[in-house]
Structures are given as C-alpha cells and as structure tokens.
Amino acid sequence: MNEKDISANPFSLIADFEGDIAQLFATPFDEILPVLPLRNLMLFPGVVAPVTVGRESSLRLIEQAEKKGTVIAVGCQRDASVETPHVSDLYPIAVVAKVMRVIELPNGNKSAILQSFGRIRLGDETRQKPYIRAHVEKLEDILPSKDDKEYRALADACKDTTIRFVHISEAYPEEAAFAIRNIGHPVFLLNFICTNLPFELDEKATLLNENDQCQRGYKLLSILNRELQFAILKQNIQNQTREELDKQQRDFFLQQQIKNIQSELGDEQNEDVTDLINKAGFLDLPPKVREIFDKELKKLQRIPPQSPDYNIELNYAQTLVSLPWGIQTEDNLNIKHAEKVLNRNHYGMEKVKERILEHLAVLKFRNDMKAPILCLYGPPGVGKTSLGKSIADALGRQYVRISLGGVHDEAEIRGHRRTYLGAMPGRIIKSIQKAATDNPVFILDEIDKVSDRNFNGDPQSALLEVLDPEQNKAFHDNFLDVDYDLSNIFFIATANSLQNIPAPLLDRMEIIEVEGYLTEEKIQIAKRHLIPKIEEELKINADSQLKVKFKPKAFEFLIENYTRESGVRQLEKQLDKIYRKMAYLTEIEESNKFKDIGIDVANIEQLLGKPLFNRDKYQGNKYAGVVTGLAWTSVGGEILFIETSISHSKAPKLTLTGNLGDVMKESAVLALEYIKAHAEKLKLDSNIFDHWSIHVHVPEGATPKDGPSAGITIATSLASALTQRKVRANTAMTGEITLRGRVLPVGGIKEKILAAKRAGIKDIIMSVENRKDIEEINQKYIDGLTFHFVENVFEVLDIALLKEKVDDAINLDIKEDNDHH
C-alpha cells in the first residue's frame, strides 16, 4: 500500500465548512469499524484529503465503503515500513471518515477522497482479513463558541504564521497560501493545518490527542513558530552562502582584470614578494641572513610564476622569514612560582626539580647564561616527557616536542639540500617554526631509540651538533644553508636506557636519573593526579551520580597485585577500568554497596578480577639453608629466597639453578670458596666438601636473575645449610662479597628497603658503605626497621645465624660417614 502524504501537493484539495461543526463531529457509527491504515498521513476531524491506495486489503475496504456508503476508521502507522500492520502498529487516536469518491489514476493506482468526522480511540482488533476491523470508542471534543474572540484571534495567528511559512519554505506553490487565507471556519482551519503541514507524526499525534480545540490551537501555534524560525534560518544561510559565492566570483574577475591592466602597463606587482618583504620587516635578521634573503628575493622577482623554479625559491624564502629570528619570550624567574608549578604537576622527582630550580636561580644573575642540556633517563611511565611541559609552564616558555624513536635518516635532523626534489628543513628547524620563538623548551623524546649509522647517514652523530653548547649557536641546516642559533633553547632529552646512546652524545648532556616510584609514592600520585584526571575526563562533579571512593588499603592492594611497573601508566589503566566498571554498575543500579561504603580490598577483586601479580611474602626461618635476600628490578624492589640443600655424593659438585646470570653464578662460587677457606672457623670438617654435593636454587626459575647483590645472601645460605643453623627470623640482606669476604655496597637500596618492609622484614643487613643511602630515605618509610651495617661475611653470619641447630638437623659427622662407606 502506498498511502502517501497527499501525493505531490498537500494543498491540491481544499474545502471549508459552514454552519455548526459540532454536527459534523457527531456523525453516528457502529462500535466495530473497518480500519484503514495510512502511511505518513494523520487526518484531523472535518478535513477532506485525497489518499493514494496501493494495498490490496485497503483497496477492498475503500471500494466496499464507497459502494455501501458506510463510515470507516482511519489511523496512521507509527512505522511506515510495516507492510501488514495491526491495530497495535497504529497511533491509538484516529478519526471516523467516509469515502467520498474513488478515482482511477493514469498510472493504474487508485486514489480515495476521504471526508473525516469526529475523533475515536482504537480498541481491540477483531479480525485482520480481508481488512482490519476493530472496536472503537467515541471521543468528545471541546469546541469553542461562535462568539469566542480569543479562539478567533488564535486561529488568525495560526493562519498568518502558516502563510509566512508557505512563502519562505519554497516547498509549496503560491496557491497554497491563497487557499489557506480563504478558509473561513476557525476549527476547520486549524485541523486542516494540522493535517497538511510537515510536522513529525509524534507531534501530530499529540495535537490529535488534545480534546480541547483551543488548547490544540495554542500547541499548533507553538509548533508553527518553531518551524517558521527554522525556515527563516535556513533561508538566511542559503542567502549568505549565495552572497559569499557571488562576492568570490566578483573578486576573482576584478583581480584578473587588474593583473591584465598591470601587465599591459609593465607594472605588475607580485603578491608573494610583497608578503615576504612585509614579514621580513618585523624580523631581526642577522646581517649575513639579510644579505642572503635579499639575494633570493631578487632572484624570485626575476623568475616567472609559471616556472617550476619559482615555487622552490618561494618555499626557501618563506622558510627564512617563518623562523623567529630574535623573537624570544621573557623568562619567569620567580623560584617560588616555578617550584609551585613543578610540585603541582609532579610528585617526587626531587633531583630533577632541584636541578631546574638551580638553573633558574643562576639565570637571575646572568641573563646571557647558556641553557642547560639535560637527559632524563629512567623506566617508562615515570613522567619524563610530561616534565618538559611543566618546565615550560614554570619558565613561561613555549613547549615543543619531537619524537626521535625510529628516526633513521640524518636528513630528519639536518634537513635536505635544496637540490633535491621535495626538499624541506629538518625537524629541529620545523619545530622552532612551530614554537614561533627561539628560546622554547625543546623535548627530544626517546633519544635512545635513534637508529645507528646506515645508508641514510648517521642521525645520532647529527644530534652532536644540536646538543653541543659550543656548536649549536651556529647550527647548520642543509635546507636553510645558513647558521641558526640554538643556544637559547632549553633542550631536554628523554631515554629509557643509556646503553644505546653513543658516548660522545652522552658527554654533551647532563644525565639525571628519574627513578621509579615507590608504592607509597604511587598512592599519592593516584590520589593527587590520576583520579582527578580520570574524573575530569568523565565529567564527574559533586552532583554526579557516579561517585567512587577508595579506602586507604585499596590503593596499596591495587598497586601491589594488579601492576608491575616503575611508572604509573598501568595504574592509570586499572583505575580507569574501575571507573568504567562503576559507571556500568551505576547504570544497572548495582553499585550502591560500593558508593556507600567505598572500595576496599575485597571490592577490587570484584571489579578487576583475580590479581595479576603476587608479591613474595616472608616464609619464616623453619628450615636451615633458606635465606631472604633483597633484589632490585625494573619495576621496583622485591624479596627473593636463596635455598641451599646438601646430599651425599660420590662426585661432590656445586649445582646452581633458577635461571641465574653469570655474575650471580660467580657470586655463588665466591661464597662457596670463602666458606671452604674458613670451614674451621665455622666448626666444619674440611673433608665434608669431599662427600656432600651442594645445590643452590633461587625460586621463580622462569625469571632471569643476575647481579652481585645476592653475594652475602648466598654465603649465608651455604653456611646455614652446612652448619644446620637456622637464620634469624624476619631478617633480610643484600650486598656483594669479595674472595676475601669483604662486603661491598650495592644499589637500589630505597626500593629494596620498601620491599622488605612490605614483606614484614624487621632486620636488614647491608654494607657499611650503604649507610649514606639509608640517610637519604624519608624517615617515615623506614620506621620499624633495624639496620645492621657490616664489613665482612663473618659479621653477617654472626648476626644472621642462630646458635642452635634445627630440630631435624642432618648428621654431617665425617667419621661415621667414612665408616659407612
């Protein structure tokens, strides 16, 4: 069926009404009526409208209705795509109508002219074939009186607004406005407008549902005013676009005429040259650069614009004047302000902040001081790159950044010579153009990932000139072919490792290590930076329904069990996952328990699943030969266990397992040799090593382990196993040993101490030379720990080994052993 919105022109059939319209609305009908479903057309009481009919069931309905002269119910489909609608697919309010006439169209279709009467409500469907029949209920209308002046004025307002809309819309012929203007009856007028103007069907259904004719008029007037405003706005946009297009065409023709006239007079002026001269007038070009620029400008004026060389010369000249020659931003040298900015944006990083503040303090005395060249190196995610932005904010300088990761072409740094097709400046010069000042804070990100020498040159060597304070005041870019001063730029390089950076390049930079964050520091970063950032991105405020509160222990549990990193990137991802989960639970109204009591350790597992990582816990001192050591990893400190067992063997040997590196294996050999050399002092028979094999194992065998810091731990484990003396409870140690038994200092003390404290360790043994590292740690991190500083292995054994043996000690009596054999 193709019941359409009054064919091509909704105003093709106009009618009016004279007399008492209440009689029209009171037309009698049966309780069950056949229903004609229409697409995109909703009839209002009293309106006459043509409808093109295509469905077979609808054709049978209108033909029988015309033949018998009976009334039918006419409703509108909610979804026009439904081919076989039921009563439930129609809007519930419909009208009673009569088929006045059925007309055969030239294309073979049929059109029915319908006269609508009063409103009805569609009830239950009684049958579907051959056409829909349903129960109907008559709805009463509140009609205005003949002398109602307010309604008359309302109808006139709707008429005037409709006529204005028809004039502006351009979708209706002029006859439509004339026809509406001549409709006399106000009720019929309003219902006719409701039927024929292109409103949304839902809005028409709302109007039809209104039983008070006066209220329907007010709602109609509101919709008409809105549609009129849209039509006026659309017309203004079209007129404005048309005017702009006409102006562009006019300007183009005038410019062409001016060029032709100037060409005839021999006085043609090149706009590109004029623009270059104006830009150069605002720059403080050095004398040599000014000379080269003037030379290139004259050459450009002699080249015809149609020549291929013209664009090459123009590009070069534009590059020269686009550089900020002599343009600088004034530094903000307020130390307190800089310290406030750095502390606000970054937690920790005390060494880096102190170095920046030192530079600012000295710069207040010497304004001509060269900017430092810093290299921040450390694990990913600790804030090296973002620190550059904070430094720029603190100084009041522009901020630019280039990523050097994967750069393999020297031309990326120094640019191409102009003899090459498509030549352009290097990334250094292009970034300075972007900054628009010659003293920005310049971040050279991932400098350790620049490729080595290859057939495209050596980009690492190209950086030597950039980062040398003695050379970069005359940096030579191949495209510019003139010297540019980079000495005012504050260069900051970032790297994850120093191993891949050539020694000459390292020598030109001041190396500052950005250490990984401790768990305590990560907790503060999460509270101060990560959570506010996530809540700002999610637009969470005090009135938001989504509120997430963390209990103190939840942060530590989240960091220890769901992240394994030095920085905070994974922590931010896990927090973001929690907020996403909470948003989902809030929508399905299951998050009240979290919102009211806050997120604790148990809730973390419900939100994120089972822990991804497990920290080692102290396992006690029940067995001889098991010693707790401290290790440093790229993701922070850890405790590790060294296990030693002994067994009878005809060919005694030392076995090392646990995926150990060469240095750690050498530490085990050193420890065993030292124990052998001092067996008498340990009250061991020296022949024991001829009958017992020794096996040293470090658990978590899939994880590579290396380094010398486990030296005293292995020595203590060997001594404990051979003497069958247990190790003091809650004791851990770290330190390198020599063949003479001296205990040497090791690194990563801060991370190791925090790992020991988390594991419940009370006593820590280390080299006396590590005392200075302990003094640098904040006192609150080491409260409850006792430190034992030693110089040799026997001091370690005196502290670590208990006097008594384990209850089930192995009998190591050599005499009995020899008799047995």
Instruction: Report whether 381 belongs to an annotated binding site.
Output: yes
pLDDT at 718: 92
Q: Are residues 492 and 507 in the same domain?
A: yes
Six token digits for residue 595: 């919102």
Q: What pLDDT sits at residue 305?
A: 75
pLDDT tens for 191-210 read 888 888 888 888 889 888 88
99 assigned binding-site residue = no
Q: Which residue has the higher pLDDT, 683 or 789?
A: 789
396 labeled part of a ligand binding site: no
pLDDT value at 277 more than 50: yes
Residues belonging to the active site: 709, 752
Q: CATH number of the domain that 592 lies in?
A: 1.10.8.60
Check whether the bond before 130 is cis (ω within 30° of 0): yes
Cα 726 from Cα 618, distance rounded (Å): 15
534 plus 503 within the same structural domain: no
Query: Is residue 382 annotated as involved in ligand binding?
Result: yes
144 SS3 class: coil
Q: Find the CATH number of the domain harbouring 786.
A: 3.30.230.10
Q: Is residue 815 over pLDDT 70?
A: no
Q: What pLDDT is stored for residue 790 in this prediction?
A: 94
pLDDT over threshold 50, residue 12:
no
**Three-class DSSP category at 434:** helix
Q: Which of 266-280, 282-296, 306-320, 384-398 is predicted least confidently?
A: 266-280
Residue 734 has pLDDT above 60, yes or no: yes
Residue that wins the pLDDT comparison between 509 and 24: 509
**Residue 384 counted as an annotated binding residue:** yes
Task: State how far the Cα of 410 lies from the Cα of 451, in Å rounded to an integer.
Answer: 10
Q: Is the pLDDT of residue 269 over 60?
A: no
* Length in residues, the chain: 821
pLDDT of residue 812: 62
How far is residue 718's CA from residue 686's CA, in Å, rounded to a whole number? Answer: 14
Query: Can you state the angle between helices 601-608 and 552-562, rounded to 10 degrees?
Result: 50
pLDDT-based confidence at residue 552 (cuts at 50, 70, 90): confident
DSSP 319-363: HHHHS-TT--PPP---HHHHHHHHHHH-SS-HHHHHHHHHHHHHH
Does 650 lie in the same domain as 754? Answer: yes
Shared domain check, 489 and 355: yes
Is 6 a residue whose pLDDT tops 50? no
469 in the same domain as 545: no
Between CA 546 and CA 531 the distance in angstroms is 13
Q: Collapsing DSSP states into helix, strand and coil, what is residue 485? A: coil
The residue ranking higher by pLDDT, 216 or 520, is 216
- Residue 594's pLDDT band, with cuts at 50, 70 and 90, is low
Burial state string for 245-261 with b = 16 or more CB within 10 A and e = fewer than 16: eeeeeeeeeeeeeeeee
71 with 98: CB under 8 angstroms? yes
User: Do residues 50 and 7 make contact, with C-beta atoms less than 8 angstroms apart?
Assistant: yes
Task: Let me know if 614 is exposed, middle or buried by CB neighbors in 10 A (0-12, 13-18, 19+).
Answer: exposed
Look at residue 242 and tell me if it is in a domain. Answer: no
In a shared domain, residues 491 and 637: no
The pLDDT, as a whole number, for residue 16 is: 60
Residue of 480 and 590 predicted with greater confidence: 480
Domain of 506, in residue numbers = 335-513
Nearest CA-CA partner of 560 in 728, 344, 758, 737: 758
Q: Percentage of residues in the chain with pLDDT exceeding 90?
A: 13
Please count the structural domains in the chain. Answer: 5
Does some domain include residue 243?
no
**How far is residue 341 from each of residues 332, 371, 580, 749, measured CA to CA in Å?**
12, 20, 31, 30
Write out the DSSP string of 574-586.
Answer: HHHHHHHHHHHHH
Same domain, 306 and 400: no
Task: Name the H helices within 683-778.
Answer: 711-723, 749-758, 771-775
Mean pLDDT computed over 410-414? 83
What pLDDT is stored for residue 267 in this prediction?
46
Asked whether residue 744 carries a pLDDT value surpassing 90, the answer given is yes
Whether 232 maps to a domain, the answer reads: no
Compute the distance between CA of residue 745 and CA of residue 128 in angstroms, rounded to an integer.
94
Q: Give the pLDDT score at 817.
A: 46
pLDDT digits (tens, 9 = 90+) for 645-681: 998 888 888 999 988 889 999 999 999 999 998 888 8
Tens of pLDDT along 133-175? Answer: 999 999 888 888 878 888 888 888 888 888 888 888 776 777 7
Based on the fold, state whether residues 641 and 538 are members of the same structural domain: no
306 and 193 share one domain: no
Q: What is the mean pLDDT of the chain?
A: 82
The reply to whether 182 falls in a domain is yes
Whole-number Cα distances in Å, 111 to 55, 76, 104, 119, 541: 12, 17, 7, 23, 60
Task: Give the strand pairing for 692-697 and 654-657.
Answer: parallel
Residue 552 is labelled as binding a ligand: no
Arithmetic mean of pLDDT, 86-96: 91
Are residues 489 and 345 part of one domain? yes
